[in-house]
Amino acid sequence: MALLAALLLAPGCAPPGEPADTAARDVQRTLDRRAAAVVDRDESAYLAVLDPAAASLRAAERREFANLAQVPLRSWEYRLTGLDRTSAGRATAEVELRYRFDGYDEAPMKAAGRLDLVRRDGRWYVAAEHPDRGGRQLWEQGEVTVVRGAHSLVLGAGQGERRLRAVAEAADRAVPAADRAWPGRWARRLVVLVPPSLDSMGSLLGAPAAGYRGIAAVTTGETGGPGAAPADRVIVNPEAYALLGDFGQQIVLTHEAAHVATRADTSVATPMWLSEGFADWAAYRGTGRTASEAAPELRRAVRKKELPAALPTDREFRFGADAGMDADTLARSYEGGWLACALIAQEWGEEKLTAFYRAVGGHGRREGAVEKAMHEVLGTTPEDFTVRWRAYVRERLA
C-alpha cells in the first residue's frame, strides 16, 4: 500500500473474447472490498482479497493491517487508474489510494502504486504489491503509535509514546506561535509523522535519505492550493531532531507550522528566501534570541568581511548530495532570509510583512512578483531593499 503519485487511466488490454471493461469492473470490486475492510477494521475481509497462494504477501499484509490499528481513518479507497491483462488469468493494475485522517484531512491524500493480480475461480486476487517511486507509507515501516495533542496529531513508527508525546507538546506550542505570526484563515493544526530512522524518512518521501541527513523536519503539501486541500504532513527526521535541545526542537516545529499556515499563499512566484525566511521569522519571533545567536554562520561571514552581495537564490537553499551546497552555505541562506523578513517587520511593520508575502504569492508567476509587491506594498525596489538588507545584516551581526 505504499503509494505516492496519481496516474492517468491507461487503456486495458484483454485477450480476445474477454472485454477489458469487465475485468476492470471486477478488479475494482476486489479493491472496494479491500478498502471497506480497512475502514471496518476487518482483518479477515482484508486478507480475503489476497492470493491464497501468496504466503509471504499474506504475512506482510497481516502485519501492515495490524500497524494501521491506531490510525484514525475517516475514509480509505482505491481507484483503478490502469489495467494491463498480461494473460488470461493475470493482470497488472495501476491503483491510486485515497485516504483521510479523521478530523484533519479536508480532502483525500493521494498515493499511487502497482498491483499484480491473479484470477482464481472467477475472482481476482492481489498477488503482489509494488510501491510507486520506491516510497513506503508509515504503517509499512512498523507498528504505528498515535498521540493526539490539542492542535496536533502525531503518528510514529518504531517510536515510544513518551517521545511522541513530547513532539505533540512542541507541536501544540508551535500552532499558536505560527498563528500569531500569520493571522488569517488556515487549519491551525498539524499532522506530524515520525518514521523509525533517516532511511525510513527518505522512503516515506520517496527520495534518497542522504538528502535529508542534516534536516530536522520537512513539510509536504501542495502550495497555492484551494481551501479544500488535505492537511500538510510534517515529516520529522528522528536522528537530526533528537540532536537538538528543547529550544531547537521548538524552533523546528514552529518553522514547519508557519509553512503549513502560509501554504495557500505560497506559489511558484514565492522565492525561497521569503518562504523560508518568514518561517524562521515566525519561529524566532518573541523568543528573545539575538541575531548573533540565531544566525551564527552569517555572523562568521560578516566578521570575515564576506557580507553577501545579494539575497540568497533558490539554489542556495537546496540540500542533498546532488545539490552542491554545503551545510554552511545552506545555513547562511536560511539566516539571510530570516533577516530579510525581520527587516521588513521592523522597518515596515508585521502587517506589511504578511501583506508582502501574500502579494508575492498571489502574482502567479516568478517573473516580476517580488518587484511588483515591493513597489505596491513596501514602496521600494529590489535594488534599494538589497542595500537596506546588507546594511541591516552588517548592523545586526557585526
**pLDDT tens digits along 10-27:** 334 444 444 445 899 999
Please tell me the pTM assigned to this model: 0.89
Q: What is the pLDDT of residue 67?
A: 96
Best CA proximity match to 187, nearest among 115, 129, 241, 257: 257
Buried b (16+ CB within 10 A) or exposed e, 269-278: bbbbbbbbbb
Residue 9 has pLDDT above 50, yes or no: no
- Looking at the chain, the domain(s) classified CATH 3.40.30.160 span 141-262
d(C-alpha 134, C-alpha 205), whole Å: 9
Bridge partners (DSSP) of residue 92 are 84, 116
Q: What is the pLDDT of residue 320?
A: 57
174 in Cβ contact with 284 (< 8 Å)? no
Determine how β-strand 73-87 pairs with β-strand 90-101. antiparallel
DSSP 150: S
Q: What is the pLDDT of residue 189?
A: 94
Residue 388 has pLDDT above 90, yes or no: yes
Best CA proximity match to 108, nearest among 34, 47, 39, 199: 39
- Taking CA atoms, 28 is separated from 20, 115, 125, 135, 183, in Å, by 12, 12, 11, 23, 44
Q: What is the pLDDT of residue 211?
A: 86
Residue 234 has pLDDT above 90, yes or no: yes
343 in Cβ contact with 389 (< 8 Å)? yes
d(C-alpha 146, C-alpha 159), whole Å: 10
Contacts with 166 (C-beta within 8 Å, 6 or more apart), sequence order:
none
Interhelix angle 272-284/246-262, rounded to 10 degrees, is 130
137 in Cβ contact with 3 (< 8 Å)? yes
d(C-alpha 266, C-alpha 199), whole Å: 29
Q: What is the pLDDT of residue 107?
A: 86
Lowest-confidence segment of 86-90, 146-150, 291-295 by average pLDDT: 86-90
Bridge partners (DSSP) of residue 95 are 80, 113
Give domain 141-262's CATH number out of 3.40.50.720, 3.40.30.160, 3.30.930.10, 3.30.460.20. 3.40.30.160
Helix ranges (DSSP H) in the chain: 20-40, 43-48, 55-67, 161-181, 198-205, 238-242, 246-262, 272-284, 291-294, 296-303, 327-347, 350-361, 369-373, 382-397
Cβ-based burial of 154 (10 A; exposed 0-12, middle 13-18, buried ≥19): buried
- Looking at the chain, the domain(s) classified CATH 1.10.390 span 266-398
Residue 125 has pLDDT above 60, yes or no: yes
CATH match of 266-398 with 1.10.390? yes
CB atoms near residue 151 (< 10 Å): 19
Q: Counting runs of H as helices and runs of E as strands, what totals does the chain give?
A: 14, 10
d(C-alpha 226, C-alpha 299), whole Å: 40
Say which CATH topology domain 10-140 has.
Nuclear Transport Factor 2; Chain: A, (3.10.450)
As given in the structure block, the three cell numbers for residue 73 are 481513518
Q: What angle do CA 269, 272, 273 make, to 5 degrees?
A: 115
Lowest-confidence segment of 105-109, 178-182, 345-349 by average pLDDT: 105-109
Q: What is the pLDDT of residue 318?
A: 84
State mean pLDDT over 204-219. 90
